[in-house]
């Protein structure tokens, strides 16, 4: 059994209540931080733990915290990004639903470190029942003196509120989240200025993912030195992975970073192999935005090394033969699946979720969706494949926020690794309408 830091007590009955959580060691990090550490000490510890942001981009959390501007007399805010809408990603929901006090605890310590006296959890609007779970837990924490004025007699005040999201994937982008929280349309802001300088209500703000904030708890409890013993040199600690698609046992797992991809897919402790004894065809390891990997690049890198579940190993080979750990949305495809159909499905998502602010993303995502839809339905031609490759090159890097890139990368990768499937849809238009490539190919090709 791998060591668990976040989900260790997940199966303890009643762990969602304050008392059971507390009995299992909960809120120790608040006591430790508020009574024995200065805010700077906490930031330093998180820096030393080398925690990489768990929201997708993997930006070092301690570094982000140290960028926060601290002008005299101006409030600062900590916002928890619980908007979780990336297809394939459902780890934050699991954590908040099962063990809400862990997030609250992490937010208290992090708010203390950043000097935020009012912090928010911005939660995806479709997670209403989770919002209720959180509000109940927050009420308990207030009642027990872990939230509110003068927490544990330390002189530190913290109010924690939950805000339901505006119902759009784009509201997970940190500046769109801030706009939405301010009651406006969730359009990403133009940067600079960055939230660390001008965020919520124009004040310095830090936005962190649910899992990042929860991970602060074991870092403070055990110390950075203990924490960094887990994982690889560049990927410390543990990570929540939401596994889905054609695996025998999907779900949310906490892994020690650095276990092999092969073990994660086939190991008894984890996904237990591909469902129905099928063969694996492709893997999207980190949510719909990251490049897809074909079978021969899943368990081994292009250089022939074992592929590991870590930031650096999944990215090995760059976009040519690698991918990204991203948000940990691990989507497995078996041999029956059609990559063109899946690419179209993702493209449809991005076209639907683009906020429409900047022209390359607004027009480009819609264009790609239409071309892919035609291809999938046997109405494409060979030119369309080149066209798609060209459109995504022209979106990438030219937009306000990373949604444009996130829409472009999966299409580029699918064409790079599965070009023959795209071509098959052109050369077999009737079959393409009848069913999907994976199932039909054996019969007709």
Partner 1 sequence: MVKVTIDGIEVEVEAGTTVLNAARKIGGDVVPPAMCYYSKLEGSGGKCRTCLVEVAAGSANDPRPMPKLVASCSTPVQDGMVIKNKTSEKVHVNRGAVTEFLLINHPLDCPICDQAGECHLQDLGFEHGASGTRYEEERRTFDPIDIGNKIKLHMNRCILCYRCVMVANQLTDKRVHGVLGRGDHAEISTYISNAIDNDFSGNMIDVCPVGALTDKTFRFKSRVWFLKPMEASRSCTKCAGKAVVWMFGEEIYRVTARKDKYGEVEDNDGKPAWICNDCRFDHKNVSDWNIEGPRKINRHSVISANHYEKANPLENNTKKIK
Ligand X SMILES: Cc1cc2nc3c(=O)[nH]c(=O)nc-3n(C[C@H](O)[C@H](O)[C@H](O)COP(=O)(O)O)c2cc1C
Which residues here bind ligand X, judged by CB under 6 A?
A: 53-57, 59, 61, 64, 81, 83-86, 169-170, 172-174, 207-209, 212, 401-403
Q: Which is nearer to partner 1, 197 or 440 (CB)?
A: 197
Chosen residue from 270, 399, 436, 438 binding partner 1 by CB under 8 A: 399
**Residue 238 burial (CB count, 10 A):** 25
Per-residue contact string for residues 380-409; x = within reach of ligand SF4 by CB under 6 A: -------------------xxx-xx-----
Minimal distance, residue 170 CB to ligand X, in Å: 5
Q: Where are the beta strands (DSSP E) in 264-420?
A: 280-284, 293-294, 329-334
Question: Taking CB within 5 to 8 Å according to partner kind, which of ligand SF4, ligand X, partner 1, none is near residue 56?
Answer: ligand X
Minimal distance, residue 174 CB to partner 1, in Å: 16
Per-residue contact string for residues 365-384; x = within reach of partner 1 by CB under 8 A: xxx--xx--x----------
- Residue 259, CA distances (Å) to 71, 160, 252 in order: 43, 36, 16
| Part in contact with ligand SF4 (CB under 6 A); list of ranges 7-15, 24-32, 315-323, 351-359 | 351-359
CA distance linking residue 79 with residue 99, whole number of Å:
19
Q: How far is CA 159 from the centre of its chain?
A: 26
| Part in contact with ligand SF4 (CB under 6 A); list of ranges 55-63, 107-115, 250-258, 353-361 | 353-361
Question: Taking CB within 5 to 8 Å according to partner kind, which of partner 1, ligand X, ligand SF4, none is near residue 103?
Answer: none
Opening angle at CA 314, ends 311 and 319, nearest 5: 110
Locate 10 and state its tokens.
């997940």
Check: CB of residue 186 under 8 Å from CB of residue 171.
yes
Minimal distance, residue 352 CB to ligand SF4, in Å: 11
Check: CB of residue 208 under 8 Å from CB of residue 55.
yes
Half-sphere exposure of 421 (CA within 13 A, CB side): 29
Per-residue contact string for residues 172-191; x = within reach of partner 1 by CB under 8 A: -------------x----x-
Chosen residue from 358, 411, 414, 415 binding partner 1 by CB under 8 A: 358
- Residue 21, CA distances (Å) to 8, 100, 106, 108, 188 in order: 11, 9, 13, 15, 37
Question: Taking CB within 5 to 8 Å according to partner kind, which of ligand X, ligand SF4, partner 1, none is near residue 397?
Answer: partner 1
Question: Taking CB within 5 to 8 Å according to partner kind, which of partner 1, ligand SF4, ligand X, none is near residue 366?
Answer: partner 1
Strands 329-334 and 293-294 come out as unpaired
352 binds partner 1 (CB under 8 A): yes
Q: What is the CA radius of gyration of the chain?
A: 22
Instruction: Give the end-to-end CA distance of the chain in Å, rounded to a whole number.
Output: 45
Give me the helices (H) in 304-338, please. Answer: 311-314, 318-321
Question: Taking CB within 5 to 8 Å according to partner kind, which of ligand SF4, ligand X, partner 1, none is near residue 209?
Answer: ligand X
CA distance linking residue 69 with residue 197, whole number of Å:
5
Opening angle at CA 96, ends 238 and 310, nearest 5: 20
Q: Which is nearer to partner 1, 251 or 378 (CB)?
A: 378
Summarize as ranges the residues that interact with partner 1 (CB under 8 A). 168, 170, 185, 190, 192, 351-360, 362-367, 370-371, 374, 387, 394, 397-400
Summarize as ranges the residues that interact with ligand SF4 (CB under 6 A). 170, 188, 354-358, 361-362, 399-401, 403-404
């Amino acid at each position: 059994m791998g060591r668990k830091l976040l989900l260790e007590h997940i199966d303890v009955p009643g762990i969602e209540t304050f008392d059971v959580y507390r009995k299992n060691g909960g809120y120790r990090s608040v006591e430790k931080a508020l009574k024995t550490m200065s805010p700077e000490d906490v930031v330093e510890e998180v820096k030393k733990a080398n925690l990489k942001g768990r929201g997708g981009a993997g930006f070092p959390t301690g570094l982000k915290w140290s960028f926060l501007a601290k002008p005299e007399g101006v409030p600062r805010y900590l916002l928890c990004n619980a908007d979780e809408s990336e297809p394939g990603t459902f780890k934050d929901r699991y954590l908040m639903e099962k063990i809400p006090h862990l997030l609250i605890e992490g937010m208290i310590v992090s708010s203390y470190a950043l000097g935020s006296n009012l912090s928010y959890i911005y939660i995806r609007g479709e997670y209403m029942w989770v919002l209720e779970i959180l509000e109940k837990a927050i009420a308990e924490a207030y009642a027990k003196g872990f939230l509110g004025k003068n927490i544990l007699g330390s002189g530190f005040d913290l109010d924690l509120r939950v805000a339901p999201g505006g119902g759009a994937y784009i509201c997970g982008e940190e500046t769109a989240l801030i706009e939405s929280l301010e009651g406006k349309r969730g359009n990403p802001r133009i940067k600079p200025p960055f939230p660390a300088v001008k965020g919520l209500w124009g004040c310095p703000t830090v936005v962190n993912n649910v899992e990042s904030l929860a991970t602060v708890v074991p870092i403070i409890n055990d110390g950075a030195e203990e924490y960094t013993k887990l994982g690889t040199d560049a990927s410390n600690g543990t990570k929540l992975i939401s596994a889905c698609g054609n695996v025998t046992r999907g779900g949310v797992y906490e892994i020690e970073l650095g276990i092999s991809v092969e073990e994660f897919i086939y190991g008894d402790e984890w996904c237990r192999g591909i469902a129905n004894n099928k063969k694996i065809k492709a893997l999207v390891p980190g949510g719909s935005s990251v490049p897809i990997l074909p079978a021969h690049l899943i368990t081994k890198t292009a250089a022939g090394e074992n592929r590991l579940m870590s930031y650096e190993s999944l990215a090995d080979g760059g976009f040519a033969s690698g991918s990204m750990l991203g948000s940990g949305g691990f989507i497995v495809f078996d041999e029956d699946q059609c990559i063109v159909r899946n690419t179209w499905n993702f493209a449809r998502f991005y076209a639907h979720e683009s906020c429409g602010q900047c022209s390359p993303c607004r027009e480009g995502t819609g264009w790609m969706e239409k071309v892919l839809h035609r291809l999938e339905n046997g109405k494409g031609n060979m030119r369309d494949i080149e066209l798609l490759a060209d459109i995504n090159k022209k979106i990438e890097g030219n937009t306000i926020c990373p949604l444009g890139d996130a829409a472009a990368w999966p299409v580029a990768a699918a064409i790079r690794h599965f070009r023959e499937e795209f071509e098959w849809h052109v050369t077999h238009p009737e079959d393409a309408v009848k069913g999907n490539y994976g199932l039909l190919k054996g019969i007709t090709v």
